[in-house]
């Protein structure tokens, strides 16, 4: 947000404690590194302080607390997605690209999934809602239905975020192995109470998450536009 560290330096010869001073930007960068390397629980003010070679309390001078830090980190990742996407010609393509971009961002930074589903009015979510809303508007949906349509898409994307976040929480093994395991577990469910889940267990192992997610977006778009002409 602010960059007080951009200051050039003042006098030579005095050895500084670190190569550069602490700053919100440096803290944010270190936090994202820690989150990417470990899981959600790896981000600790002690770990962060160690990586930045400072005391844990120093961080509080630049950042309000852990929630603030996480919100900023998620916003940083999502901002990269929305700014890259907004300027596409066909609004339907823009939405597709946007959704795919969120998927990829969460895949690359799984902790973002958890963070997005923690506070629906954090900056990252607002950014997404705005991007989606602009696309919906460009789609030619009547004014009164735009909020409705955008929030349905937003809700669906947050659902992905939650699902993906949790999915990664049980990893270590790779993705397909986890899916195969889950499919196997589903097959062992009681056929009387879980007929449907058992039946789709086979499809689970071979399905493509990303494809399925985009198809879901497609589905909602179809519903939005059908609704426009029908209702």
Partner DNA sequence: ACCTGAACACCGTTCAAGT
Interface with DNA by CB under 7 A: which range of 14-22, 104-112, 147-155, 214-222?
A: 14-22
Could you say which of 24, 94, 117, 139 contacts its own copies (CB under 8 A)? 117
Q: Kindly state whether residue 61 participates in binding DNA, applying the rule CB under 7 A.
A: yes
Instruction: Residue 119: name the closest of 83, 70, 76, 84 by CA.
Output: 70
What are the backbone angles phi and psi of residue 148, rounded to the nearest 5°?
A: -55, -55
Could you say which of 33, 55, 175, 177 contacts DNA (CB under 7 A)? 55
- Which own/partner contact pairs does 64-71 have at CB distance under 8 Å and 24+ positions apart? 67/119, 69/27, 69/28, 69/31, 69/43, 70/31, 70/43, 70/115, 70/118, 71/115, 71/119, 71/122, 71/123, 71/124
Q: Kindly state whether residue 25 participates in binding its own copies, applying the rule CB under 8 A.
A: no
Considering CB distances under 5 to 8 angstroms, the limit depending on partner class, which of DNA, its own copies, none binds residue 138?
none
Query: Would you state the structure tokens that stand for residue 9, as one six-digit string?
Result: 């330096």
Interface with DNA by CB under 7 A: which range of 46-54, 139-147, 149-157, 164-172?
A: 46-54
- Minimum distance, C-beta of residue 9 to its own copies, in the bound complex (Å): 33
CB-nearer residue toward its own copies: 37 or 190: 190
Residues that bind DNA (CB under 7 A): 4, 17-18, 21-22, 43-47, 53-58, 60-62, 65-67
Residues that bind its own copies (CB under 8 A): 116-121, 126, 129-130, 133-134, 136-137, 144, 146-152, 154-163, 165-167, 169-170, 182, 185-186, 189, 193-197, 199-200, 203-204, 207, 212-213, 215-216, 218-224, 226-227, 230
């Amino acid at each position: 947000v602010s960059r007080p560290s951009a200051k050039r330096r003042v006098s030579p010869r005095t050895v500084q404690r670190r190569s550069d001073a602490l700053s919100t930007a440096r803290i944010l960068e270190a936090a994202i590194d820690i989150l990417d390397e470990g899981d959600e629980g790896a981000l600790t003010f002690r770990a962060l302080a160690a990586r930045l070679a400072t005391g844990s309390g120093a961080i509080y001078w630049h950042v309000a607390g852990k929630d603030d830090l996480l919100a900023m980190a998620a916003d940083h990742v999502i901002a990269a997605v929305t700014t890259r996407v907004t300027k596409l010609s066909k609004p339907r393509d823009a939405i597709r690209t946007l959704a795919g971009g969120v998927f990829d961002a969460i895949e690359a930074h799984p902790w973002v999934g958890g963070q997005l589903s923690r506070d629906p009015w954090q900056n990252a979510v607002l950014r997404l809602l705005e991007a989606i809303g602009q696309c919906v508007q460009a789609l030619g949906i009547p004014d009164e239905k735009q909020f409705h349509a955008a929030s349905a898409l937003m809700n669906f994307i947050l659902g992905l975020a939650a699902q993906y976040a949790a999915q990664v929480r049980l990893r270590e093994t790779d993705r397909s192995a986890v899916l195969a395991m889950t499919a196997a577990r589903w097959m062992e469910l009681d056929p009387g109470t879980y007929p449907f889940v058992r039946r789709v267990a086979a499809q689970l192992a071979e399905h493509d998450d990303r494809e399925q997610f985009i198809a879901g977006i497609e589905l909602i778009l179809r519903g939005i536009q059908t609704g426009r002409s029908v209702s």
